[in-house]
């Protein structure tokens, strides 16, 4: 049985344990997308996990949807991220930047150019979004032209190069949670008639092109992807072909030899088992709301190579130490998840040498 604390090889890196910080948007960047000053502390506090995956980070102006999320496509973004990657490395950690293009999950009030959101098709997600003026309905997006889809692939490639310039160990493409990549998968969001819509092959094409382009730019062993097969929120319905789309997609991406696939599991165990068989590189598994006593079970059973945790890591900078010593965990405070400053960000208490908590 493999221990969650056993070292593991991911891409070109040797990680000291199999615990991963799941990507979490914290909305504390500057309005120009430069990461906030406290982000270096936040990530370095959590560098004891084998791998840190950052918050979703937009690859372009069009890719932003929420207020004050960071970007990685301008020199200021690169300089901001460099401060973060260098302190994580000083602590012996590894950090992949998650590249997140929101597609239609966007409000013009939140973006730098205040333009209409872009998506595979002009179909609104049917939900609201927080803006500086409070909650507002998300407007109907504009459908990308075929040429613009190709330009978006190029934007991703540029962002991946920028992430490496900023010192990141790699990038994870956000292909989950109803954002642009998954919008292409779902017939409810993608009614295109060009080569990016219709058949399973066509709906998977955008993801495959993005990952192929990035792998060519920065290396397959620094390129990874997150998927959430079966996500049904914000108007995403992958339909009866959904599981087959993922079988096809994972088999195609496997040919690239990427650093890892990161599955945010939505409950289809048979599909998860198939993905495990189809994928020869490391698999990171995130089971939302996984209880503490189950941590390590998927690595022990061989279903996953690494396990990712979100809220528990957000609230416990010394997550690995607490697990090893069987210490109590702090509870995450949802009121401070998005926006604000130090509170609920860099002030969660850590265990002292004596085992009690101190901040």
Ligand X SMILES: Cc1cc2nc3c(=O)[nH]c(=O)nc-3n(C[C@H](O)[C@H](O)[C@H](O)COP(=O)(O)O)c2cc1C
**Binding flag, residue 68, ligand X (CB under 6 A):** no
CA distance 195 to 174: 21
**Least distance from ligand X to the Cβ atom of residue 52, Å:** 12
**Least distance from ligand X to the Cβ atom of residue 288, Å:** 4
**Binding flag, residue 18, ligand X (CB under 6 A):** no
Pick 5 or 337: Cβ nearer ligand X: 337
**Binding flag, residue 330, ligand X (CB under 6 A):** no
**Least distance from ligand X to the Cβ atom of residue 178, Å:** 10
SS (H, E, C) the chain: CCCCCCCEEECCEEECCCEEECCCCCCCCCCCCCCCCCHHHHHHHCCCCCEEEEEEEECCCCCCCCCCCCECCCHHHHHHHHHHHHHHHHCCCCEEEEECCCCCCCCHHHCCCCCCCEECCCCCCCCEEEECCEEEECCCCEECCHHHHHHHHHHHHHHHHHHHHCCCCEEEEEECCCCHHHHHHCCCCCCCCCCCCCCHHHHHHHHHHHHHHHHHHHCHHHEEEEECCCCCCCCCCCCCCHHHHHHHHHHHHHCCCCCEEEEECCCCHHHHHHHHHHCCCCEEEECCCCCHHHCCHHHHHCCCCEEEECHHHHHCCCHHHHHHHCCCCCCCCHHHCCCCCCCCCCCCCEECCCCCEEC
Stretch that binds ligand X, among 147-155, 182-190, 292-300, 310-318 (CB under 6 A): 310-318
**Binding flag, residue 56, ligand X (CB under 6 A):** yes
**Binding flag, residue 309, ligand X (CB under 6 A):** yes
Stretch that binds ligand X, among 20-28, 40-48, 85-93, 162-170 (CB under 6 A): 20-28
**Binding flag, residue 107, ligand X (CB under 6 A):** no
Q: Annotated catalytic residue: which of 179, 196, 246, 309?
A: 179
**Binding flag, residue 24, ligand X (CB under 6 A):** yes
In the range 274-293, which residues lie near ligand X by CB under 6 A? 286, 288-289
In the range 212-271, which residues lie near ligand X by CB under 6 A? 226, 264
**Least distance from ligand X to the Cβ atom of residue 234, Å:** 13
CA distance 136 to 141: 14
Number of residues that bind ligand X (CB under 6 A): 21
Pick 192 or 287: Cβ nearer ligand X: 287
- Does the annotation mark 348 as catalytic? no
**Binding flag, residue 52, ligand X (CB under 6 A):** no
Pick 74 or 311: Cβ nearer ligand X: 311
In the range 164-193, which residues lie near ligand X by CB under 6 A? 174, 176-177
- What is the contact surface with ligand X in residues (CB under 6 A)? 22-25, 55-56, 98, 100, 174, 176-177, 226, 264, 286, 288-289, 309-312, 337
- Catalytic (active-site) positions: 179
């Amino acid at each position: 049985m493999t221990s969650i604390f056993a070292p593991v090889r991911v891409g070109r890196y040797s990680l000291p344990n199999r615990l991963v910080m799941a990507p979490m948007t914290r909305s504390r960047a500057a309005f120009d997308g430069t990461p906030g000053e406290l982000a270096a502390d936040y990530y370095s506090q959590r560098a004891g996990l084998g791998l840190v995956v950052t918050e979703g980070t937009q690859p372009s102006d069009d890719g932003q949807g929420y207020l004050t999320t960071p970007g990685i496509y301008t020199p200021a973004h690169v300089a901001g991220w460099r401060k973060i990657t260098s302190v994580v490395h000083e602590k012996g950690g590894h950090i992949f930047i998650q590249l997140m293009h929101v597609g239609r999950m966007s409000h013009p009030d939140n973006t730098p150019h205040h333009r209409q959101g872009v998506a595979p098709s002009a179909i609104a997600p049917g939900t609201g979004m927080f803006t500086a003026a409070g909650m507002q309905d998300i407007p109907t997006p504009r459908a990308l032209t075929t040429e613009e889809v190709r330009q978006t692939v190029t934007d991703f490639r540029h962002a991946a190069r920028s992430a490496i310039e900023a010192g990141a160990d790699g990038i994870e493409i956000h292909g989950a949670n109803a954002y642009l990549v998954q919008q292409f998968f779902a017939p409810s969001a993608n009614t295109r008639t060009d080569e990016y819509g219709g058949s399973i092959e066509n709906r998977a094409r955008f993801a495959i092109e993005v990952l192929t382009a990035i792998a060519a730019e920065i290396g397959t062993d620094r390129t990874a992807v997150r998927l959430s097969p079966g996500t049904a929120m914000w108007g995403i319905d992958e339909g009866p072909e959904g599981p087959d789309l993922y079988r096809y997609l994972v088999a195609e991406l496997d040919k690239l030899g990427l650093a890892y696939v990161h599955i945010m599991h939505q409950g289809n165990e048979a599909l998860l088992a198939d993905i495990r068989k189809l994928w020869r590189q490391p698999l990171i598994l995130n089971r939302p709301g996984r209880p503490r006593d189950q941590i390590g079970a998927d690595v022990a059973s061989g279903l996953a190579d690494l396990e990712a945790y979100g809220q528990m890591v957000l609230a416990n900078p010394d997550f690995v130490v607490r697990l090893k010593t069987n210490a109590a965990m702090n509870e995450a405070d949802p009121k401070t998840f998005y926006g604000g400053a130090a509170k609920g960000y860099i002030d969660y208490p850590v265990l002292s040498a004596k085992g009690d908590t101190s901040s």
